Structure 1
Amino acid sequence: MNTIRKPYSVLTIAGFDGSGGAGIQADTKTISAHGCYATNVLTALPIQNTQGVKNIYEIPTEAIREQIQSILEDIYPDAIKIGMVHSVELVNIISEELKDYKNPIVYDPVMVATSGHRLIKKETIAACVEKLFPLATLITPNLDEASVLVNHKIDSTDLMISYGKKIMDLGCQNLLLKGGHLEQEEIVSYLFQKNQSVQSYTSQKIATKNTHGSGCSLSSAIASNLALGFPLSESVELAQKYIEQAILGSKDLTIGKGNGPLNHLFNPQKLKTYDIHN
């Protein structure tokens, strides 16, 4: 019997960020910092820096399908993170290609820009709810995105609890409702799981403009922890602590002229592996 060593791998299906703060760049840094091996599927090519998005070039949808197939047949991931899905066609391709995937999937449903503008159309949101929500082990909307999903502004912890349950009814397996946009000193997020009590997570709100890509990084951190075998609630807790420390590690840095990134590599872990016998 031969024993081979394999790294824990995490695939991210997301867009590009040339400034290195969000998208697949943030995902790759986060996954690497957790000691996992990062693979990528590129879904869009935004032209952006720390000051904002200047343009977006589309990737041919069949190229996205082929990218997913190519990774799955060669470096089968221990977990997958999905970022912004900007078209119904792309929703269909991702759901088709991942329908038989058996490991955890974390879906960060990026729908609303920091400015408050919707980034994807209503029909795409409906397709995401119908096809990606049931597929995902966990979805991680912020309050703006959650408000779009329930068509009601969520701006308090009480509303987070009540509307979080309504989002679960849309077909989620599990939901992490992030409270970073609340006007209060601490950040409170809630984890909803079927047939379990709601869990809360609290972290400090750090005075800094360097939070670009924090949502991408959080979902990638959760996916990395799930790949490593941690239970969901612990994966979320560890990821929240990682993001807090990554923001603290960058709060006094100047990277670009706008909203800078996190310090993803404040405490990078060595590549972690496991044995397979064949």
Structure 2
Amino acid sequence: MYQTNYHRASSVAEAVKMLGDADDGKFVSGGQTLIPTMKQRLAAPSDLIDLRHIDEIKGITVDGRDVRIGAATTHAEVAVHGGLAAVCPAICHLAGHIGDPHVRHMGTIGGSIANNDPAADYPAALLALKATVHTSKRELAADEFFTGLFGTALDEDEIVTAVSFTAPEKAGYAKFPNPASRYALTGVFVAKQPEGVRVAVTGAGEDGVFRASAIEDTLAQSFDPAALDGISVPADGLMSDIHASAEYRANLVVVMAKRAVQAANG
């Protein structure tokens, strides 16, 4: 790693000021993506501004079916939160299967979505749940926040402070994990609301997380795994790599969608 200066911010405003004062600063939360990237010398920021100790962006609140999760909340905290599990167990299940215990106790929901790794779990959840992303500047719908492979609508000096959503009637998540990293080779989050069904796919798209409209339309008619028998997803636009071909991922999308619906139905 190259030499870098470490700063611990105590507020969002202080973190933004620290970034402005740095030559080439980067925000860091759990560091599960940035630190390995720095170790490989693919990134060399002059300054790291640590967001993990900002109390105002920590914690989970559940008010009826309205949920707000602070950006500095770890995956482990999401996984075991009783109030959240009571209204949306699917997101607790998702968080409990991210990486390994070290990753879950260090990684944060804000860091995950700000990085928007194409195989990360949370982007699929937020997209399917029709979540809102709160930042130091504004509020963004998840549909607008994720803009492509590792891309988001965030400005360089903008910090994710929280995510919020209304818990759906039913939700489920299923993924086919890489056996080493536990990243999703393909993961599917389904959410059933009174106005319809939203289905989001991670780990499969060449351009990152996306919604599966054909599966949504089918499940809106019958929210049952059997309804997806005979449904196929085109391989166009899906990733091929050393782990799986686009055609294999296309099949996994349907298989994981069935499992997600089964989980949602209990």
TM-score (norm 1): 0.27
Structure with greater contact order relative to length (CA < 8 Å, sep ≥ 6): 1
TM-score (norm 2): 0.28
